[in-house]
A = this chain, B = another copy of it.
Amino acid sequence: MSENLEYLRHSSAHLLAAAVIELYPGTKRTIGPAIETGFYFDFEFPQGVTVSEADFEQIEAKMQELAKTWKSFDRSELSVAEAKAEYADNPYKLELIEEFSSDDQILSSYRSGNYSDLCRGGHVEHPDQELQHIKLLSVAGAYWRGKEGNPMLSRIYGTAFATAQELEAFLVQQEEAKKRDHRKLGKELDLFVFSETVGKGLPLWTPKGATIRRELERFIVDEELKRGYLHVYTPDIANLGLYRKSGHYPYYKESMYPPIEIDEEEYMLRPMTCPHHFELYASRPHSYKELPMRFAELAKLYRYEQSGELSGLLRVRSFCLADAHIICLPDQAESEINQVLDLIEYIAGVFGLKSGENYHYRLSLGDRADEIKYFKDDASWDLAESVLRKVLVDRVSHFVEAPAEAAFYGPKIDIQMKNVNGKEDTAFTVQYDFVMPQRFELKYIAEDGTTQQPIVVHRSSIGAIERVMAFLIEHYAGTFPLWLSPVQVRLLPIADRHLEYAQKVMAQLQAAGVRVELDSRSERLSAKIRDAQLEKIPYMLVMGDKEAAAESVAVRSRAGDEGVMPVTKLVLRLQAEITNKS
């Protein structure tokens, strides 16, 4: 966000507060920052007053009215004692003054029109001209300072832009994102559900959602096998000692669930796969000729999320990571990381995602000065970082460098993915690890007969299946490509007398491995077509007397009416489309 936009939005927050206080006297103000999507302001409304989206029109009108009178933001200074006196009836402001000021400090306040507020500054110069393109978006409960147990305030979200065009574009995008919201589409298309009885953050995948997941999982596993990965299965729980050995325990303790006591031993739901794969590698000796060994697994992992943070498939308490650990000679690392990025770009490409456009790389580096957060071994950090940087440079990849964002055991490449809101997030990572091989005493016999230590590349190829699913639902807006569609074809016999022929076609398609449904209801064809469209089914095959006589079907794809086609020809076309994942 540019500084100008930040000033604009923070100024808009002042304006919102001014309007709210005029409309709802007795309201207590707290704070109102600019955020990525606009701004918000947290209020404590007087007892009995509730503000909902229905009130936004009135508040916006008041904001417009006030804005006309705001010629500037005028700074004044006051002592802490003066500030406390001015905000004597506002415990929130008092708490902030108390906490952030020393007694002899001078605070700043900004006034525009009749409204003034304690504030560090950062406003527009001509509010009456610039605060024009503002829209209130939503209202939600928010604990004071984000802490459970604190009073619950009302947070009003809004957004502001410099021009009407920008505001309009933002609102259209928001509307589109809402339509594509995976929680909404997941429900409408019956892909996954939650059960309060089963528990929070634990999705249940319906038959349709599970079909997509199975196709995704098999695609990833098969592609990895082709590229020399060794898929394995390791346990989802392990003795706490394993995570002490890996050194994860002190670092990850807050993300792990409490131990399960079994026969006086403590077992943990695993938060990561690495130590499991290392134990597998260490179960027998290895020669340099066997390396690289690429252990891969669709690994169920468990990480703690606060219940308030849980959201659809994006933030869950258990997820399945397409994980792998490549154990290799140090001089194989560069080639291996290159191959990992090839795989990532290939899989992303299948979904139409391009590096530099839909995602980019971030090189997350260590900090030689920080010996607590990062394992101390300057030479290894230097080498590892230079290997990762060389790979990215040689590939002419779009990447940025991020200091002090590495894992504790080595630097990494983060795959930064944009979602439908345009928000960027780390989807998954490729990590260079020189620490774990020491802790797990991973070894290989080198060509000269000596015993040596390999390095490890931790990587995912696509990330967590739950997250991918959320992403793909929004990416495709539920209109999945044929290979992922839970129902690929729906048969629409025109009348009951065509049911027999429809069943014959159904058997032909099923034998060809196509997922097909028969709409045998005695409904009008137009109703059957409408329902199939609502369910976003890729192919509808209409069949009446003519089609039955000619062993053909009238094809309606998403592209529209495609005319009548022999069943045998259609089967070949569907198979090709499924295989090509187009």
Contacts and interface: CB of A to CB of B under 8 A. Distances in A.
Given A193-B283, A242-B197, A260-B260, A234 B204 contact: yes
Contacts of A257: 260, 262, 267
Contacts of A200: 265
A260 to B, nearest CB: 5
Contacts of A265: 199-200
Interface string A216-259: 00100100001000111111111101100100000000000110
Contacts of A481: none
A213 B221 CA distance: 13
A263 interface: yes
Contacts of A300: 236, 300
A202 B237 contact: yes
Contacts of A234: 198, 204-205
A490 interface: no
A195 interface: yes
28 contacts: A193-B280, A193-B283, A195-B279, A195-B280, A197-B241, A197-B245, A198-B276, A199-B237, A199-B238, A199-B239, A202-B238, A204-B234, A204-B276, A204-B279, A204-B283, A206-B280, A206-B283, A210-B230, A210-B231, A211-B231, A214-B221, A214-B231, A218-B218, A237-B269, A237-B302, A258-B262, A263-B307, A300-B300
Given A197-B238, A197-B239, 19 more contacts: A195-B279, A197-B242, A197-B279, A199-B238, A202-B237, A202-B238, A204-B234, A204-B280, A205-B234, A207-B231, A211-B231, A214-B231, A226-B510, A235-B318, A237-B269, A257-B260, A258-B261, A262-B317, A263-B306
The 3 A-B pairs with the shortest beta carbon distances in the complex, nearest first, are A207-B230, A202-B235, A205-B233
Interface of A: 190, 193, 195, 197-200, 202-207, 209-211, 213-214, 218, 221, 226, 230-239, 241-242, 245, 257-258, 260-263, 265, 267, 269, 275-276, 279-280, 283-284, 295, 300, 302, 304, 306-307, 317-318, 510
